[in-house]
Amino acid sequence: MSVVPQLTFPCRLPPDPRGFPHGKDYPRVLRATYDNNKGTGWNIPSLKTGRTLDAMSTIERHLFVRSQVDPLVLDSRDQYPMHSLAKLAPYLKDPTRRIPRSLVPTLDMVLTIQDAGSRDGYRFEAVSVKPYSELGDRDVQSRMAREQEFCDSLDWRWTLFTERETDPARYKSGHLLCCMAAHSDLDSLRGVAEANANYVADRSNDKPLRQVKRALAKRLNTDTARASEIIAAMALFGFVKLDFDAELSDGDPLCLLKP
């Protein structure tokens, strides 16, 4: 059994076997709105990656937020190229150059996930994001088959994510959690978050989040803004497990799942 790498913000793992970096050094291969012929897209700042994620669709946006709040996910890399880094290098060095579409068949997202059974303590999982209505299209099926063959050659898992896997309530709660931590140095909060996780868990599920923040702020002799960041750190590191099916807001109970 391998030693599982510790979750850090941002991710500091070495490059993957194909040479593509993790964390903040991973390049922006396709840019939302600029490289999307449908004209849709969102730029999502990410504490986990230390950079901006490019979501090309609403479905991708749901997936991205979900990956950011999952403590088992060490890193998430969007629009991951299936061509070699060497072929793309001249374009990645000059962000003013648009990469030819022939060079950018991509996997919508590659997740790096903690896995004690893997050699390095983590594994790779590619996620293909598609509207459910397009799954019967032959061209889409051919693209998915090529993606699966590519992943099989690397011994990576391949999964499918459609709008049927999205949940507006989970997205809203996940987005709010990320906002609570948006200006934090999460790694510096790890110790205090772990030390006070049981205290917060004992006061959750029947008390509004606002009240839990005040109680934690008083305990730590700090303000509620700092307490909010610490509670977010608890959830993002996995010291407490949020029930994302319940609404996360200051006026509602902080709902936690039992360990």
Confidence bin at 86 (pLDDT 50/70/90): confident
pLDDT higher than 60, residue 35: no
Q: What is the mean pLDDT of residues 85-93?
A: 80
The CA-based dihedral angle spanning residues 32, 78, 127, 242, taken in that order and rounded to the nearest 10 degrees: -100
How far is residue 76's CA from residue 46's CA, in Å, rounded to a whole number? 9
- Listed residue (93, 117, 89) closest to 20, CA to CA: 89
Highest mean predicted confidence (pLDDT) among 53-57, 70-74, 168-172:
70-74
Which secondary-structure segment (H or E) carries 151? helix 138-154
pLDDT higher than 70, residue 31: no
- Listed residue (150, 152, 149, 131) closest to 140, CA to CA: 131
pLDDT higher than 70, residue 71: yes
**Token code pair at residue 134:** 């397009």
Look over the chain and give the mean of its residue pLDDT values, rounded to a whole number: 91
pLDDT, position 33:
60
- Identify whether 27 is preceded by a cis peptide bond (ω within 30 of 0): no
How confident is the model over 102-130, as pLDDT tens digits?
667 899 999 999 999 999 999 999 999 99
Q: Is 44 helix (H, G, I), strand (E, B) or coil?
A: strand
Residue count (the chain): 259
- Listed residue (247, 246, 234) closest to 193, CA to CA: 234
Q: What is the mean pLDDT of residues 205-212?
A: 91
Which amino acid type is present at position 137? D
Domains of the chain: which residue ranges?
Answer: 23-165, 168-237
How far is residue 114's CA from residue 126's CA, in Å, rounded to a whole number? 14
Q: How far apart are the first and last CA of the chain?
A: 23
CB 160 within 8 A of CB 145: no
List C-alpha distances in Å: 122 to 6, 107, 140, 197.
10, 19, 29, 25
The CATH number assigned to the domain with range 23-165 reads: 3.40.1350.10
